[in-house]
């Protein structure tokens, strides 16, 4: 547990762990904002120990430039791409900003899917990186074609290869997401019960652009996307953007049949759901990667009511999770439930940029 006043630098410590494991902050903050004011670079050197006792040393260095430079070393080998680190040190972070997962736009839930799946499947991560690149190319091309008023026949021929890449990657990504939803649901059910104390189950539904069939079949998805594309290419040309693909699907969280959490959940249900999603993410990743993820809870307890807070802390104290980093401004509830004098739990106090062990 890391305790300290607001602005003392607690979150920075958790962010550092996130950068060391995922190469970026869980706050989605751009790298240049992570550099201390007045400084030109940051440098991180972290050592991890896997469940099997294998050591992994991750070094991330960033220089503002210009041009900005970022280098990542794993066990002293320089990585060719930042994405090569992702998934090797599974990590789950929960922050007050994550509220948007249950309450925000579809994009936020796609980001959630993407973060979990990227850490659990190398191929998925590659598909996503390639999909995003191809999508940007296709959108840029659509924009140019609209501007130049290119004939439909010529535009179609120029778009065709990019359409094919976007559809092929989308079908793979979407079928992987559909399978994930199926595998993830039991974990979510279990953790929702633990967090809320209730036995109601929040079902998930994967709704890729009105596709009604077996979304796990990449083959069927591809056929569906091709059909949609034929129907909508003219509209795409008119609007200058890609309207079909993995960037348009949606994960729907329901609190009851046909009642979408985003609209119908109470404040309390939203909080239970969010914590449950994150704990389920933890269990899912542990299962998928055969490695206990690191859990980061950034200023979460101030957001929860006494009962939920108590249950979550109880879960953590029970040793159910692996190494957990908690940041909090208050210590009241912690002292009575967690024995900081034991070797299992450690308390750090952050004040004016310095960390002290208590």
Q: Which residues bind other proteins (CB under 8 A)?
A: 67, 80-81, 83-84, 87, 122-123, 125-126, 130, 133-134, 136-138, 140-141, 144, 157-158, 160-162, 164-165
- The nearest distance, CB 119 to other proteins, in angstroms, is 12
Cβ proximity to other proteins, 16 vs 223, nearer residue: 223
Smallest separation (angstroms) from other proteins to the CB of 73: 14
Q: How far is the CB of 174 from other proteins (least distance, A)?
A: 17
Minimum distance from CB of 218 to other proteins (Å)? Answer: 12
Count the neighbouring beta carbons within 10 Å of the beta carbon of residue 273: 23
C-alpha distances out from residue 225 to 110, 250, 261, 268, Å: 18, 15, 28, 38
Q: Among residues 19 and 125, whose Cβ is nearest to other proteins?
A: 125
Decide if 304 contacts 315 (C-beta within 8 A): no
Q: How far is the CB of 66 from other proteins (least distance, A)?
A: 9
Rounded distance between C-alpha atoms, residue 321 and residue 316, angstroms: 6
Do residues 235 and 229 make contact, with C-beta atoms less than 8 angstroms apart? no
Smallest gap from Cβ 211 to other proteins, in A, equals 24
Cβ at position 164, least distance to other proteins in Å = 5
- Nearest Cα to 334, choosing from 320, 316, 319? 316
- Using alpha carbons, select from 336, 308, 346, 278 the residue that is nearest to residue 2: 346
* Of residues 43 and 140, the one with the C-beta less far from other proteins: 140
Q: Nearer Cβ to other proteins, position 22 or 276?
A: 22
- β-strands 69-74, 77-78 pairing: antiparallel
> Is-contact 274 97, C-beta < 8 A?
no
CB closer to other proteins, 129 vs 317: 129
Contacts (Cβ under 8 Å, ≥6 apart) of 335: none
Q: Which of 241, 127, 108 is nearest to 174 (CA)?
A: 127
Q: How far apart are the first and last CA of the chain?
A: 10
**For other proteins, the closer CB: 173 or 189:** 173
- Answer for the pair 36, 353: CB distance below 8 angstroms, yes or no: no
| Best CA proximity match to 327, nearest among 96, 149, 53, 143 | 96
Q: Which is nearer to other proteins, 162 or 284 (CB)?
A: 162
For other proteins, the closer of residues 83 and 333 by Cβ is: 83
Distances (CA, A) of 68 to 35, 73, 195: 12, 17, 43
Tokens in use for 5? 């006043």
Report in angstroms how near the CB of residue 122 gets to other proteins at its nearest.
4
């Amino acid at each position: 547990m890391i305790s300290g006043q607001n602005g003392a630098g607690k979150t920075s410590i958790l962010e550092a762990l996130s950068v060391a494991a995922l190469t970026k902050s869980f706050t989605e903050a751009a790298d240049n904002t992570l550099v201390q004011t007045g400084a030109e670079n940051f440098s991180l050197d972290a050592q991890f120990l896997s469940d099997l006792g294998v050591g992994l040393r991750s070094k991330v260095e960033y220089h503002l430039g210009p041009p900005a430079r970022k280098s990542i070393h794993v066990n002293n080998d320089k990585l060719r791409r930042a994405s090569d680190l992702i998934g090797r040190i599974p990590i789950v972070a929960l922050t007050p900003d994550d509220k948007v997962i249950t309450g925000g736009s579809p994009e936020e839930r796609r980001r959630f899917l993407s973060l979990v799946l990227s850490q659990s499947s190398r191929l998925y991560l590659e598909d996503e990186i390639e999909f995003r690149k191809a999508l940007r190319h296709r959108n840029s091309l659509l924009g140019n074609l609209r501007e130049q008023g290119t004939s439909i026949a010529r535009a179609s021929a120029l778009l065709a290869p990019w359409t094919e890449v976007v559809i092929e990657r989308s079908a793979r990504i979407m079928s992987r997401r559909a399978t994930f939803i199926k595998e993830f649901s039991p974990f979510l059910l279990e953790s929702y019960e633990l967090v809320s104390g209730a036995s109601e189950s929040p079902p998930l539904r994967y709704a890729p652009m009105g596709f009604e069939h077996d979304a796990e079949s990449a083959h069927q998805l591809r056929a569906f996307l091709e059909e949609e594309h034929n129907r909508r290419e003219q509209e795409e040309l008119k609007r200058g953007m890609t309207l079909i693909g993995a960037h348009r699907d949606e994960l729907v969280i329901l609190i009851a049949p046909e009642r979408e959490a985003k609209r119908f959940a109470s404040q309390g249900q939203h909080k239970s759901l969010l914590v449950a999603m994150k704990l389920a993410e933890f269990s899912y990743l542990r299962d998928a990667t055969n490695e206990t993820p690191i859990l980061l809870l950034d200023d979460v307890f101030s957001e929860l009511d006494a009962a939920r807070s108590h249950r979550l802390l109880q879960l953590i104290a029970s040793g159910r999770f692996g190494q957990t980093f908690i940041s909090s401004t208050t210590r009241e509830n912690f002292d009575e439930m967690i024995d900081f004098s034991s070797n299992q739990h450690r308390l750090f106090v952050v004040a004016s940029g310095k960390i002290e062990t208590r």
